[in-house]
Amino acid sequence: MPRFDECDWGFPQADDWPDDDVVAVGADLEPSTLLYAYSHGMFPMHLDRMKNRLGWWSPLRRGVIPVDGLRVTRSMRRSDRRFTVSFDTAFSEVMHRCSDMRTDGNWITEAFVRAYGRLHGMGHASSVEVRNDAGDLVGGLYGVRIDRFFAGESMFHRETDASKVALMHLVGRLRDEGVVLLDTQWRTEHLASLGCIEVPRDEYLGLLARALD
């Protein structure tokens, strides 16, 4: 599958990006814009929700989980037996739950839910749902999928290890399907405990190009 090289906005090329995590401002959340951005190493987050200004981010230090390097603990395996895991059965609900659980500046607005829902309908976004014995949605994650590349966007949990179980099942499926790049945007201490590493932006763009080749 080729990279998505056309959209309605004149994004700067990587050689012209500033030495900053934010490389562009403006544009929209149309499918063509999002697919162009992700396939060129960018993702959107609001800079100022009150003014509705979109920033397009490409962190200087990018978080990546090696598909063969996820750290699976005994606790995660035990928890896995308590849950039922599915894919793409409640995409919008997972996004709303991720939005509800965020405390670090919520950028998952209704506009984002609608935009990524359109990508989901096109087959370029996916969710993982984790339910308890009562059938309640207690964990999950969602992200963007282009060929052998998956960009994890956000995850949530309402019961212990539920988001980790979602990630464990996602990585298993991605490995089976030949995905070679799992992007987490940034490396956090939580993600680092699961095997996430940091790579420089130039190296990340090389990994992305190979994943989309």
Structural Rg of the chain based on CA atoms: 17
If asked whether residues 34 and 110 sit together in one domain, one would say no
β-partners of residue 183 are: 64, 151
Q: Would the CA dihedral through 108, 124, 94, 81 be positive or negative?
A: negative
Provide the residue range defining the domain that includes 53: 21-60
- What pLDDT, on a 0 to 100 scale, did the predictor assign at position 71? 97
In terms of C-beta distances under 8 Å and separation of at least 24 residues, what long-range contacts does 108-111 make, across chains too?
A: 108/154, 109/46, 109/49, 111/29
- What pLDDT, on a 0 to 100 scale, did the predictor assign at position 1? 43
If asked whether residues 92 and 42 sit together in one domain, one would say no
- Six token digits for residue 46: 């609001």
If asked whether residues 47 and 67 sit together in one domain, one would say no
If asked whether residues 102 and 134 sit together in one domain, one would say yes
pLDDT tens-place string over residues 16-70 = 999 999 999 999 999 999 999 999 999 999 887 655 789 999 999 999 999 999 9
- Res 2 pLDDT > 50: no
pLDDT tens-place string over residues 79-102 = 999 999 999 999 999 999 999 986
If asked whether residues 144 and 116 sit together in one domain, one would say yes
If asked whether residues 75 and 170 sit together in one domain, one would say yes
Does residue 5 fall inside a structural domain? no
Does residue 12 fall inside a structural domain? no
**Which of 32, 60, 88 finishes a domain?**
60
- What's the CA gap between 66 and 181, in Å, rounded? 7
Does residue 10 fall inside a structural domain? no
Does residue 1 fall inside a structural domain? no
Q: Which segments of the chain does DSSP mark as H helices, in order?
A: 31-39, 74-80, 91-101, 110-121, 162-176, 189-192, 201-211
Total domains in the fold of the chain: 2
- What pLDDT, on a 0 to 100 scale, did the predictor assign at position 102? 64
183 CB burial (10 A radius; 0-12, 13-18, 19+): buried
If asked whether residues 33 and 135 sit together in one domain, one would say no
**What is the average per-residue pLDDT within 177-204?**
97
- What pLDDT, on a 0 to 100 scale, did the predictor assign at position 48? 73
- Res 193 pLDDT > 90: yes
Does residue 189 fall inside a structural domain? yes
If asked whether residues 53 and 77 sit together in one domain, one would say no
